[in-house]
Amino acid sequence: MSFDELFEEAVKASERSYSKYSGFSVGAALITADGRLYTGCNIENSSYSLTNCAERTAVFKAVSDGYTKFSAIAVAGSGSGDFSKPCYPCGACLQVLSEFCEDDFTVVLSDGVHKLSDFLPMRFSEESMK
């Protein structure tokens, strides 16, 4: 799957967003190391701290199916239906991704292809606890 196709899957996933409080729909499309596609959307709650982001939804779905090795994720978000502006993963999502992915893990946004380390250069890890 090309990065453009992966991004389009993220846009499609955003259509299932439950974002009645913010009005900002986010979708994510995650590829496992063996090529399986997992999508996720943001799911809001009236108690904002209970909201779950699209990236974590996709990761949690994959992990719950037994997959913990990933090759790329695309993230698309918009409040207006215009997905041309990048929707950067939040810190919580970056930390969850860092649990399963190396620094060179691919993050696809509307403005191009990035690496996880571009967003989280000094991440908390098992190594940092030693």
- Stretch (H or E) spanning 99: helix 91-100
Note every long-range contact of 43-47, with CB atoms under 8 Å and residues 24 or more positions apart, other chains counting.
43/17, 43/18, 44/18, 44/19, 44/20, 45/21, 46/21
Q: Which of 55, 99, 102, 127 is catalytic?
A: 55
> Which amino acid is it at 12?
K
99 is catalytic: no
Cα–Cα distance for residue pair 73/67, rounded to 1 Å: 14
Residues linked to residue 112 through DSSP beta bridges, in sequence order: 109
Contact 27, 39 (CB under 8 A): yes
Tell me which residues are annotated as active site: 55
